[in-house]
């Protein structure tokens, strides 16, 4: 859950849409609909609310007001709602402060034959919404380098959606190498957080807030992410797509990595308003990422499949400020290692402070999520 916040930081102000916070209302029976019906509703809401393009081909900044985000971002009570089970839309009036600007499209995750995993990580093809987000204010300058982040939303028949989050690292690629391509680096659902902290005071403060949020989540040790850099994939591995039927037994990868393809790497962000450029230049039906998975914290990454963009990318108010991606809270469990897997050895799980190994097995998933 850490990834998005770090971009909002770096001592800058976050841009929020003010005065346009009334959320669209999904139909009362939304949750009970099929995966396809939900996708159609969300996609039509997204398309009905896209940003107009000005003569220079940019999105107008006029509806965006700058405001410091500190009061919200450093408020654990406000932040914990990102874990609450709920709608695919933000609560009425709640601004999106995590990754508030992005582009969205329909993606197909194609998992190769022979996958040992369950749910959307089992062999097959899965349609999902995918959102590529970057700098909070949606602009790209030397002083405002690109910080790629990726989220996917899997929609199920008669069951709430499950979401996946991935990013590069806690700092942002451009502070390291000044690259301007969204597809320069791998994006991972769990990354080395050793660089967390000591970047700047606001980042340290945010991490402290996030740790407070995670520590305060209801339930047992398994009901919260290991740390601020790793978001679990358990929920998506627990049910079949699109039926939402429970898997007899869950085998979740510990983490997966999206590696940009050669085709994706051709794309270079040069425009100030880089999102408009992505919308213009990235075509539908492009293979954007290859996908690899790590079965346990101690295991090597193995090929899992491919991720294709199936629609055009679009940017707009609905996907930026109304559509909600609940942060997953359930963490990986060593019992998810398949019989031929390697048991997790806490001594081989990387730098100690990453703490990727799960807590004691006595910490089962214990609660049905309902948070204020």
Residues in contact with ligand NAG by the rule CB under 6 A: 71, 75, 77-78, 177-178, 362, 364
Distance set, CA 12 to CA 6, 135, 295 (Å)? 11, 10, 37
Q: Closer to ligand NAG by CB, 125 or 366: give it.
A: 366
Q: Closer to ligand NAG by CB, 249 or 280: give it.
A: 249
- With vertex at residue 212, the alpha carbon angle to CA 209 and CA 217, rounded to the nearest 5 degrees, is 130
Taking the CA atoms of residue 86, residue 92, residue 93 and residue 94 in that order, the dihedral angle to the nearest 10 degrees is 10
Q: Closer to ligand NAG by CB, 362 or 370: give it.
A: 362
Q: Closer to ligand NAG by CB, 250 or 296: give it.
A: 250
Q: Closer to ligand NAG by CB, 13 or 249: give it.
A: 249
Give dist(CA 69, CA 17) in Å, integer.
12
Q: How far is the CB of 218 from ligand NAG (least distance, A)?
A: 16
- What is the SS3 string spanning 297-313? CCCCEEEEEEEEECCCC
Give the position of tokens 């402060």.
97
Q: Closer to ligand NAG by CB, 96 or 131: give it.
A: 96
Q: How far is the CB of 16 from ligand NAG (least distance, A)?
A: 14
- Give the start-end residues of each E strand in the chain: 14-17, 64-67, 102-111, 124-133, 149-156, 159-167, 187-188, 255-260, 286-294, 301-309
Q: How far is the CB of 79 from ligand NAG (least distance, A)?
A: 8
Q: Closer to ligand NAG by CB, 71 or 340: give it.
A: 71
Q: Could you count the other beta carbons within 10 Å of the beta carbon of residue 68?
A: 11
Terminal CA-to-CA distance of the chain, rounded, Å? Answer: 18
Give dist(CA 185, CA 72) in Å, integer.
30
Q: How far is the CB of 213 from ligand NAG (least distance, A)?
A: 12
Q: How far is the CB of 264 from ligand NAG (least distance, A)?
A: 22
Q: How far is the CB of 256 from ligand NAG (least distance, A)?
A: 25
Please say whether the beta carbons of 17 and 63 come within 8 A: yes
Q: How far is the CB of 85 from ligand NAG (least distance, A)?
A: 17
The two tokens of residue 327 are 């942060």
CA 82 from centroid of its chain's CA atoms: 12
């Amino acid at each position: 859950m850490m990834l998005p916040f770090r971009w909002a930081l770096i001592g800058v102000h976050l841009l929020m849409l003010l005065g346009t916070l009334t959320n669209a209302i999904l139909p009362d029976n939304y949750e009970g609909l099929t995966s396809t019906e939900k996708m159609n509703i969300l996609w039509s809401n997204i398309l009905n609310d896209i940003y107009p393009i000005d003569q220079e081909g940019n999105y107008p900044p006029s509806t965006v007001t700058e405001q410091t985000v500190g009061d919200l971002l450093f408020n654990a009570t406000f932040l914990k709602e990102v874990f609450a089970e709920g709608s695919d839309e933000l609560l009425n009036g709640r601004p999106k402060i995590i990754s508030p600007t992005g582009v969205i499209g329909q993606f197909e995750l194609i998992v190769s034959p022979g996958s040992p995993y369950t749910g959307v990580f089992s062999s097959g093809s899965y349609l999902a919404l995918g959102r590529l987000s970057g700098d909070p204010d949606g602009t790209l300058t030397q002083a405002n380098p690109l910080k790629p982040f990726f989220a996917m939303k899997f929609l199920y028949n008669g069951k709430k959606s499950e979401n996946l989050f991935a990013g590069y690292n806690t700092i942002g690629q451009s502070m390291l190498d000044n690259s301007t391509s969204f597809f320069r680096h791998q994006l991972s659902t769990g990354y080395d957080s050793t660089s967390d902290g000591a970047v700047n005071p606001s980042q340290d403060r945010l991490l402290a807030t996030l740790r407070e949020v995670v520590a305060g989540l209801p339930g047992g040790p398994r009901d919260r992410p290991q740390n601020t850099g790793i978001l679990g994939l358990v929920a998506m591995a627990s049910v079949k797509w699109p039926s939402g039927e429970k898997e007899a037994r869950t085998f979740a990868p510990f983490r997966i990595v999206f590696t940009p393809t050669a085709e994706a790497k051709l794309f270079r962000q040069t425009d100030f308003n880089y999102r408009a450029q992505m919308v213009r230049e990235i075509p539908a039906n492009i293979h954007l990422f290859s996908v690899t998975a790590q079965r346990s914290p101690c295991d090597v990454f193995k090929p899992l499949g491919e991720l294709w963009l199936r629609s055009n990318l679009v940017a707009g108010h609905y996907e930026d400020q109304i559509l909600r991606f609940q942060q997953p809270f359930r963490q990986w469990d060593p019992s998810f290692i398949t019989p031929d897997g390697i048991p997790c050895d806490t001594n081989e799980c990387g730098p100690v402070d990453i703490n990727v190994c799960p807590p004691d097995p006595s910490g089962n998933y214990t609660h049905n999520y309902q948070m204020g």
